[in-house]
Structure 1
Amino acid sequence: MTTVEQQPDQTSGVTAEPATPGQRPPGRLRSIAGPITRAVRPFDITVAAFFLLAAQLLYVNLWGDLAHQYLTDSGGDQNQAEWFIAITAQNVAHLHNPFFTTVQGFPDGVNLMANTVMLGLTVPLTPITLAFGPHVTYALLLTCGLAATGIAWYWVLRRWAVRSRPAAAVGAALAAFAPPMISHGNAHPNFTALFMIPLIIDRALCLFRGDRVVRDGVLLGLFTAYQIFIGEEVLLIAAVGMLLFAAAYALADRGRARDAVKPLRRGLPIALAVSLPLVAGPLYFQFFGPGSYTDVPHGYGLVVNSPLSFLQFSGRSLAGDQAIADRFAVNRLEQNAFYGWPLAALALAIAVRLWRRPLVKALVCTATGGAVLSMGPRIEIPGTDVVLPGPWRLILDLPLFGSVIESRFGMVCAPVLGVLVALAVDRLAATSDLRLKMWGLAAVAAALLPIVPTPYPTNARPPVPDFIAHGTWRQYVGEGQTLVPVPLAHSYTTESQHWQSATRMAFTMPGGYFMAPNGPERIGNYNPEPRPTYRLLGTVYASGRVPEIGPQQKAEAEEDLTYWKAGVVVLAPGFNAAPLYDTLKQLLGRDGTLVGGVWVWDVNYGTFAARTLAGERPGTA
Structure 2
Amino acid sequence: MWNTSVPLASIVLWPITHFLGILASYNTLVIISLPLSAISMYFVLRMFSFGIVASFAGGLLFGFNPYMIAQSLGHTQLTSPAFLIPNLFWILWDLFGGQRRSSKFNGLLLGAVVVMMLLLGEEVMTTAALISMFGIIITFIMNKGIHAVKVGYIVRSLLYSFGMIVIFSGVPLFTQFFGPSIPHGQLQPPNVYVTDLYNFITPGPLQQLSNSGTNAISNRFTGNESEWNSYVSLPLILIFLSSIFCLKKSILLKFSFWMTFIVAVLSMGPFLHIDGTITNIPLPWILFGALPLLNDILPDRLSIYMFFFIAIIFAGFIKQIGNFTKVSQVLSITSILSTFIFLMPLINFPVTTVLLPPFFTNEIKRIIPHNSTVMVLPFSTGAHASAMYWQQASGFWFKMPEGYAISPNGFGPSDNALLDVLNSNSNSNTALKITPNIREESLGYLDRFGIKYIVLARHLSNSQYQEKVISSILNANPIQTSGVDLWIISAKKNIGYYIGGQYWASESEYNWMGKNATIQAFGKAVTVRIAGFWRPLNIPVKVVIKEDNNIMRVFQISTSTNVSFTVASGKIVTISADSTFIPNNYIHNGDDRKLSVLLSVSH
Cα RMSD of the aligned pairs, angstroms, is: 2.6
Q: For the residues of structure 2 that align with 1:458 and 1:586, how far apart are their CA atoms? A: 37
More helix by percentage: 1
* Alpha-carbon distance, 1:255 to partner: 6.0
Which of structures 1 and 2 has the larger relative contact order (alpha carbons within 8 angstroms, sep 6+)? Answer: 1
Deviates more, 1:445-454 or 1:388-397: 445-454
1:338 aligns with 2:252: no
- Who is 2:76 aligned against? 189
- 2:241 matched to which residue of 1? 348
8 Å Cα contact 2:253/2:316 also seen in 1: no
- Output the amino acid matched with 1:514: A
Cross-structure match for 1:597: 483
Match of 1:50 in 2: none
Letter of the 2:256 counterpart: L
Counterpart secondary structure, 1:195? helix
User: What does 1:72-471 correspond to in 2, within 5 Å?
Assistant: 113-160=1-48, 162-193=49-80, 194-208=82-96, 209-211=98-100, 212-254=102-144, 260-321=150-211, 322-328=215-221, 330-355=223-248, 357-380=250-273, 387-429=280-322, 431=323, 433-459=325-351, 461-470=353-362
The match for 2:444 among 531, 537, 559 is 559
* Residues 593, 600 of structure 1: 8 Å contact kept: yes
TM superposition shift of 1:540: 5.1
Offset at 1:222? 1.6
Q: 1 or 2, which has the higher strand percentage?
A: 2
Q: CA deviation at 1:480?
A: 3.9
Offset of 1:545 from its aligned partner? 5.7
Structure 1 Cα separation of the partners of residues 182 and 277 of structure 2: 42
CA gap 1:385/1:562 in 2 versus in 1, 3 angstroms: closer
Question: 1:517 matched to which residue of 2?
Answer: 408
Q: Alpha carbons of 1:354 and 1:365: their partners in 2 closer, same or farther (altered >3 Å)? A: closer
The verdict on how the C-alpha distance between 1:119 and 1:252 changes in structure 2, with shifts beyond 3 A counting, is: same
Q: Give the 3-state SS of the residue equivalent to 2:224 in structure 1.
A: coil
CA displacement 1:539-576 (0-9 Å, x = unmatched): 35487766532443333333222222223212222232
1:187 corresponds to which letter in structure 2?
G
Give the aligned residue type for 1:555. E
Identify which range, 439-448 or 353-362, moves more after superposition: 353-362
The counterpart of 1:508, out of the listed 396, 399, 419, is 399
Unmatched tracts of structure 1, length 5 or more: 1-112, 519-524, 610-621
Out of 368, 377, 392, the residue aligned to residue 477 of structure 1 is: 368
Distance 1:309 1:288 in 2: 39
Query: What letter matches 1:315 in structure 2?
Result: P
* Cα distance, 1:298 vs structure 2: 2.7
Alpha-carbon separation, structure 1, partners of 2:228 and 2:436: 46
Q: Which runs of 5+ in 2 are unaligned?
A: 496-603
The Cα offsets for residues 181-237 of structure 1, whole Å up to 9 and x where unpaired, read as 111112222222211222222222232222301111111112211110001111222
Whole-Å separation in 2 of the counterparts to 1:385 and 1:177: 29
Residue number in structure 2 paired with 1:526: 411
* Whole-angstrom CA distance in 2 between matches of 1:232 and 1:258: 33
How far did 1:292 drift? 2.1
Q: Normalising by structure 2, what TM-score?
A: 0.75
- In structure 2, the CA distance between the partners of 1:302 and 1:163, relative to structure 1 (3 Å rule), is closer
**Percent of pairs with identical residues:** 24
8 A Cα contact 1:249 1:257, kept in partner: no
Query: Relative to structure 1, is the Cα distance of residues 503 and 594 closer, same or farther in structure 2, using a 3 angstrom cutoff?
Result: same
Task: For residue 124 of structure 1, report the CA deviation from its aligned partner.
Answer: 2.0
Kept in 2, the 8 Å contact 1:367–1:412? The answer is yes
The residue type equivalent to 2:99 in the other structure is G
Question: Match of 2:33, SS?
Answer: helix
Range with bigger deviation, 141-150 or 537-546: 537-546
Contact 1:253 1:358 in 2 (8 A): no
Is 1:577 matched with 2:463? yes
1:372 shift after superposition? 1.3
Alpha-carbon shift at residue 438 of structure 1 (Å): 3.5
Aligned to 1:539: 424
In structure 1, what is the Cα distance between the partners aligned to 2:275 and 2:454?
Answer: 51
CA distance in structure 2 between the partners assigned to 1:452 and 1:384 by the alignment? 28
Task: Tell whether the 8 Å contact from 1:562 to 1:606 is kept in structure 2 after alignment.
Answer: no
After superposition, the Cα gap between the structure-2 partners of 1:367 and 1:259, relative to the gap in structure 1 and judged at 3 Å, is: farther
What is the CA distance between 1:122 and its match in structure 2?
Answer: 0.8
Q: Is the 8 A contact 1:120 1:226 kept in 2?
A: yes
CA contact (8 A) 1:207 1:264 kept: yes
Q: Which amino acid aligns with 2:438?
A: Q
Residues in 1 aligned to 2:278 and 2:3: alpha-carbon distance in whole angstroms: 39
Determine the C-alpha separation between the residues in 2 that align with 1:384 and 1:536: 33
Higher mean C-alpha deviation, range 116-125 or range 261-270: 261-270
Once residues 466 and 89 of structure 2 are traced to their aligned partners in structure 1, the CA distance between those partners, rounded to angstroms, is 52
Q: Measured at CA, do residues 568 and 440 of structure 1 come closer, stay the same or move farther in structure 2, by a change above 3 Å? A: same
Structure 1 residues 469 and 174, CA, compared in 2 at 3 Å: closer, same or farther?
same
- Alignment-mate amino acid for residue 376 of structure 1: G
Q: Distance in 1 between matches of 2:351 and 2:216?
A: 19
- Aligned mates of 1:590, 1:424 — CA distance in 2: 70
Call closer, same or farther: CA 1:479–1:605 in 2, change over 3 Å: farther
Separation (CA, whole Å) in 2 of partners of 1:182 and 1:497: 24
Given residue 466 of structure 2, which amino acid in structure 1 is its aligned partner?
Answer: L
**Is the CA contact 1:511–1:534 (under 8 Å) kept in the aligned structure 2?**
no
Question: Is the 8 Å Cα contact of residues 249 and 361 (structure 1) preserved in structure 2?
Answer: no
Describe the superposition over 1:297-341 as per-residue Cα deviations: whole angstroms up to 9, x where unpaired: 432412211112111123222322344433335222112201112
Distance 1:581 1:121 in 2: 38
SS in 2 for 1:192: helix
The whole-number CA distance in structure 1 between the counterparts of 2:378 and 2:430 is 14
In 2 relative to 1, CA 243–433 (structure 1 residues): closer, same or farther, beyond 3 Å? same
**Secondary structure of the structure 2 residue equivalent to 1:489:** coil
Cα separation, partners in 2 of 1:432 and 1:563, compared to 1, 3 Å: closer
Other structure's SS at 1:201 match: helix
Instruction: Report the equivalent of 2:511.
Output: none
User: 2:433 is aligned with what amino acid?
Assistant: E
Instruction: Report SS of the residue matched to 2:380.
Output: coil
Give the distance between the partners of 2:139 and 2:352, measured in 1 at CA: 50
Q: 1:296 to 1:547 in 2, by over 3 A?
A: farther
Would the aligned equivalents of 1:546 and 1:580 in 2 still touch at CA under 8 Å?
no
Shift in Å at residue 389 of structure 1?
A: 1.1
How many residues were matched structurally? 488
1:527 maps to a residue whose letter is: G
Cα 1:179/1:606, change in 2 over 3 Å: farther
